[in-house]
Amino acid sequence: MKVLAILPDFIPQEEVKRTVAQIMPEIEITNTTEFPKSDADVLIVTTFTIVDKNLIDRMPNLKFVQVASTGYDSVDVDYLKMKGIMLSNIPTANKQSVAEHVIAMTLVFLKDMINLNEELKVHHRWPMLTGSRDLEGKIFGIVGMGMIGIQLAKRLMPFNVGIVYYDIRRLPPDEEEKYGLTYMDFNDLLKNSDIISIHLPLTEKTRKMFGEKEFSMMKDGAIFINTARGEIVDENALVNAMKKKNIKVGIDVYEKEPPDFNSEIFKMDDAIFSPHIAGVTIESQQRFLTETISNVLRYVQGLEPLYRVI
């Protein structure tokens, strides 16, 4: 069974090939989709490769697509489904990395680090007072209680915060008790949370889920963090909320990537940014590689692949 991996330029292809050579010696690795045709049965991609009709039609033997990431919105799922091609993702490898990134962004705001750093480094002043606050005792709202949401809740427990969550599927009572979770409907979570973090997939239902109405319900001075997908948030509405309600914002994802750096969001105070990298650590990339190859091997050996989407 032939396996083709399309990897972005910044991933060292020879190093990957050496890593998998013993268990998958026939794998073909490339950094481009500009080929006339491929007879591969299995395709491995990252989110940097668009798997659309054009690519799929040039792979007539394709039976299984493995996305080496949690998200798979770069894949035309409907067309794969129509062609009877299986799709799997890897939703487990970066869950702890994203959770830690969210907490880091939260603490930057609570501990007044942007202002204090500027006072010392730029203005050479020694401030005697600070607006620094404790995380303990705050209400932390998690929108989307999947694998990343659970990892975030686990890491928040030692901080003695109130953890509330909203999801279309409520967890069983024993799971809520295990992670110290309180279920709230969406509007109540918006009204009660001091910090809100999004952990949802991008779907037609979640697109622009956070708009003017939703931001108007949030507390003045609340912290809002998005490490999910940029399209879930109406950016203009977010900017207005920052102006009107002093909302502090941590953003890792954007509707267009790279984003338009002339956008007003980049001119706002009380905002920190990262380049869609919350789940990218040295450790998570190794986990992605290991779990991706392991799942492809399951398929090649005739076993049901894990994390099957379709």
Q: Tell me the catalytic residues.
A: 229, 257, 276
Spatial neighbors of 309 by CB under 8 A, at least 6 apart, are 72, 77, 87, 88, 89
Two tokens at 299?
Answer: 């398929």
Q: What is the DSSP string of 257-284?
A: SS--TTSGGGG-SSEEE--S-TT--HHH
CA distance 310 to 252: 28
Q: How far apart are CA 45 and CA 32, in angstroms?
A: 11
Cα(17)–Cα(34) distance, rounded to whole angstroms?
Answer: 20
Give the pair of three-digit tokens for residue 60: 């007539």
CA 240, distance to chain mean position in Å, is 24
- Sheet of strand 195-198: strand arrangement: 181-183, 162-166, 139-143, 195-198, 223-226, 248-251, 271-273
How far is it, in rounded angstroms, from Cα 197 to Cα 18?
39
Residue 8: name the closest of 280, 299, 227 by CA: 280
Question: What gap in Å lies between CA 292 and CA 92, rounded to an integer?
Answer: 11
Distance CA(300)–CA(260), nearest Å, equals 42
> Which H helix or E strand runs over 178?
helix 173-178
| Segment (H or E) for 102 | helix 95-110
- Tally of CB atoms within 10 A around 175: 13
